Amino acid sequence: MPFFKGLLRPLQAGGQACQFYKRRLRIPNRRQFSLSAPFAAAHIVTGAAEAEAKSARKYCDGLLAKYDRPSYTLSTFVPAHARTFYIAIRALNVSLSMIPDTTTSPTIGLMRLQFWRDTITKTLAGSPPKEPVAILLASAVEDLRSRTQDRARINKGWFTRLINARERTLTNDPYPNLASIESYAENTYSTLLYLTLSALPMTSVTADHIASHIGKAAGIAAVLKGLPLVAFPPPPSQHSGQAGGMPSGAKQGAVMLPLDVMAQAGVKEEEVFRKGAEAPGLRDAVFSVATRASDHLITAQQMLANIRSGVDVGHEFEHQGEEGHTYDNDLAAGRGHETPMDEINRAFGVFLPAVATRLWLNELERLDFDIFKPELLRSDWRLPWKAYWAFKRKTF
């Protein structure tokens, strides 16, 4: 405006002419204001969306910090551009795990699971409901599409698999055998890792293969960790503080060990209810299940060693070719000539739940497989340091 004032000043002595030029000079200002209104409105909308996403992130961070401390700690090592997505899906996992605690019957629990199915559908379509996890997830998905020019997509089937697997926690149906626990772990914890890899985006069968073993180990450990809370459930709505695989608010206690393992070890459910950790055969049964989790971590470690040596990983990926495990060649080509080791290094932060799982299994062994020891429900103070060194050395 100083420029326009300079023009008006000598005209003010001109009487009527002065008024004419004033009117002429004011018109552009009015037109400019009217044209900028849509842009101002768009800026307000964008600002509101950013504030909403920021509030959702704060909520999800708090949820993890309280109920899934290991995932909260390990978020630091997930690549920054995928961290929001990681936080969102881990918060979703916590929300799903809390459903048995916050519902009064399996029927209501099923309704809550259906709510999440509908929420995921709307969120991936770009119209999330006013729910913090959904808002943060929608923001992360939009960022992924923008980063990859809409070539990378999040597989809705993985979310469906994750939600469907949680139905078991509503009724505490027994696991017939160890393979059924592995299936549960694959559909939950391995699937969380697949989703995180897809947000990098990572288009590697090898990375998925390693993630499958790590997720199975983490899922099996989660079932063991939740065993005391399911056998002796606290009052409803008092969550365990852990996002393990099992609910803590079930009305009827259950011993969630594989039936074949219990039979082999001579474990009887009623004796667990009466004697707790001193039930005959219980430690042997826990040992058998924990050994399977440890085997998956050892397999993942061996695969890393083979890749680093430039040899084959040693066995086929059993889920190769299934939904979500086929890849966009154009997206893969965008990474240039990336070697398997390059892919693993780029995705290594996603694999660090292996560190948390190994620490927990080691603690279980130190306690002579007494699954009722309260120390097993606490977060390990060594995790940040152990995870840092694992990330730096690219080994766990």
The amino acid that residue 283 corresponds to is: R
CA dist., res. 375 & res. 291, Å (int)? 20
pLDDT computed for residue 335 by the predictor: 58
- pTM for this model (two decimals): 0.84
The verdict on 262 and 155 lying in the same domain is no
Q: What is the CATH number of the domain that holds 368?
A: 1.10.600.10
The verdict on 291 and 356 lying in the same domain is yes
Which among 171, 201, 216 is the end of a domain? 171
The verdict on 225 and 122 lying in the same domain is no
What is the pLDDT averaged over residues 157-180? 94
pLDDT computed for residue 329 by the predictor: 58
The answer to whether 99 and 119 are in contact (CB under 8 A) is no
What is the pLDDT averaged over residues 170-182? 94
DSSP secondary structure, 364-380, as one string: HHHTTT-TT-GGGGSPP
Which among 171, 199, 216 is the end of a domain? 171
The answer to whether 360 and 380 are in contact (CB under 8 A) is yes
Q: Does residue 13 belong to any structural domain of this protein? A: no
Given a cut of 50, whether residue 19 has pLDDT beyond it is no
The verdict on 341 and 215 lying in the same domain is yes
Share of the chain above pLDDT 90, in %: 70
Q: Does residue 328 belong to any structural domain of this protein? A: no
Q: Which two tokens stand for residue 102?
A: 């916050």
Q: Does residue 225 belong to any structural domain of this protein? A: yes
pLDDT computed for residue 153 by the predictor: 85
Q: Does residue 323 belong to any structural domain of this protein? A: no
Other CB atoms closer than 10 Å to residue 268's CB: what's the count? Answer: 16
What is the pLDDT averaged over residues 167-189? 94
pLDDT computed for residue 318 by the predictor: 87
With 0-12 / 13-18 / 19 or more C-beta atoms within 10 angstroms meaning exposed / middle / buried, residue 197 is: buried
Domain count, the chain: 2
CA dist., res. 67 & res. 225, Å (int)? 14
Q: Which two tokens stand for residue 47?
A: 């600002």
CA dist., res. 353 & res. 26, Å (int)? 65
The verdict on 178 and 132 lying in the same domain is no
pLDDT computed for residue 242 by the predictor: 52
pLDDT per position as a tens digit, 54-97: 999 999 999 999 999 999 999 999 999 999 999 999 999 999 99
Q: Look over the chain and give the mean of its residue pLDDT values, rounded to a whole number.
A: 86
Please give the residue range of the domain that contains residue 122: 47-171
The verdict on 124 and 227 lying in the same domain is no
pLDDT computed for residue 100 by the predictor: 87
Q: For residue 177, what is the DSSP state? A: S
C-alpha 295: how far from its chain's center?
23
Q: Which two tokens stand for residue 158?
A: 């993985």
Q: Does residue 165 belong to any structural domain of this protein? A: yes
The verdict on 126 and 197 lying in the same domain is no
The verdict on 150 and 182 lying in the same domain is no
**By C-alpha distance, which of 379, 376, 191 is closest to 286?**
376
Given a cut of 80, whether residue 259 has pLDDT beyond it is yes
